[in-house]
Structure 1
């Protein structure tokens, strides 16, 4: 049986090192990854440091990083790392960015640690052990109606087929604008998900699902008590097309709204 409590300690130790790099290093050179996409020296440094640490501490667990790809990924257990979730925010001096490290077991997120170093916040959870920010247990809000809900949405698409992919995102934005209290775009999936988990926003909707972006936040939101699902309402896993996290009472109205897109 996997000892998630022990592995949560390993993940926290890895993010101690990662957070120190993010706050201590200069951003350095920024390289283009494609159309309106970028990677910084901090991204590479954090991923290298965390990968090296995890391969030493947990050599039996695979690793998948946004920048370097996979090493032994796809097995029963895989670490999934976004070294800087919100790089565009980071390089432009916007503090809404974080390091996101999740653990995937059989295609399902079971553990996550997210550090928001410029906000001084550390979120963590392991399945069956609760979700926390620092020492405080976190839970979603109890909002019951969409017109009372603050909803965070993922970034619009860039790169290949951006116009096609954004048609649905723009339709979603228009639908939300007519239905919810406020729409927010923070520029970081990690921020979106932990803020649902801790009751700062009522829902986050991302029409995407990269494991390095979502694994940690999904585990934290689910363990906090949020419902985390695909766009069709099925339980979220690494094969889902979208990542939707919400306070449970909003599940039905969200599904009704999304069905109209």
Structure 2
């Protein structure tokens, strides 16, 4: 075995551990009463004691079981090691929601080697769901096989009557977001901003909406969701329109197959409109 590979038994052990940690983190999130809220980059960038305590526990468990692996977390950082297994964690994706009593957050944990995701687990505490996927082995929700709805065209637009999710850049609209909203409106499609990039990208695979666009990909927040969505049969594209689960730069799109082409074209047109007016 080379450094860029995992044995089947190690992959199984990684999935099992990630599922256990996801279930534990979901229960911690549901039962925890937030008592301490502080800020990071700006007054809208919040962190709670739960973000930190979950990350510390997950780091401890993962590195005890896999001491040769690298670990990168939302709260305590870390760095990927080229050619070696690296874990990416966001303990609470949607901290602003959590701090404001809005039950829409997620736990996201992924294992990858370089740009190849191998295992992904997303826990949705507020709906009692734990999603997971192993590369090439399909996706599951609470152990049941998960398959994305292909989607069907309604009239001339595959987006008509649908919902597309996106997220803010922190607390601000990202360049092109307003243009995207206008173009979706013209296609009779509704834009939703719910506050968790993880759940937004997972949406089409979970039967929650037609598609999703995140303006800047981060493996900490998004890698588990893109792997699960792909393994469930969704289309996953980088900002350049190429199929990828780990974009090297720019944003990422997830969509039901019937809507992917039109949604990507809408996104691209919105970004071009910004460039023209800049």
**TM-score computed with the length of structure 1 as normaliser:** 0.91
Query: What is the correspondence of 1:85-104 to structure 2 with a 5 Å cutoff?
Result: 85-104=93-112
Determine if the alignment matches structure 1 residue 20 to structure 2 residue 22: no
CA distance in 2, matches of 1:238, 1:103: 15
Partner residue of 1:29 out of 17, 22, 36: 36
- Could you say what the CA RMSD is over the residues aligned between the two structures, in angstroms? 1.8
Alignment match, 1:243: 252
Alignment match, 1:135: 143
> Which SS does the other structure have where 1:115 is aligned?
strand
Determine if the alignment matches structure 1 residue 171 to structure 2 residue 184: no
**1:155 positional shift:** 2.1
Q: Answer yes or no: is the 8 Å Cα contact 2:40–2:46 preserved in 1.
A: yes
Q: Answer yes or no: is the 8 Å Cα contact 1:214–1:243 preserved in 2.
A: no
Query: What is the correspondence of 1:50-199 to structure 2 with a 5 Å cutoff?
Result: 50-70=58-78, 73-143=81-151, 144=153, 145-158=158-171, 166-199=174-207
Determine if the alignment matches structure 1 residue 217 to structure 2 residue 230: no
CA distance in 2, matches of 1:86, 1:191: 9
Q: Aligned residue pairs: how many?
A: 256
**1:219 positional shift:** 0.8
CA distance in 2, matches of 1:193, 1:255: 14
Q: Answer yes or no: is the 8 Å Cα contact 1:95–1:119 preserved in 2.
A: no
User: Structure 2: where are the runs of 5+ without partners?
Assistant: 271-278
User: Structure 1: where are the runs of 5+ without partners?
Assistant: none
State the structure with more CA Rg.
2
Provide Cα deviations, 1:132-169, integer angstroms capped at 9, x if missing partner.
111321121222411142111112444xxx5xx73322
C-alpha spacing 1:118/1:255, structure 2 compared with 1 (3 Å): closer
**1:177 positional shift:** 2.0
CA distance in 1, matches of 2:222, 2:193: 16
Q: Answer yes or no: is the 8 Å Cα contact 2:38–2:46 preserved in 1.
A: yes
Alignment match, 2:276: none
CA distance in 2, matches of 1:38, 1:73: 28
> Which SS does the other structure have where 2:241 is aligned?
coil
CA distance in 1, matches of 2:210, 2:231: 15
**TM-score computed with the length of structure 2 as normaliser:** 0.86
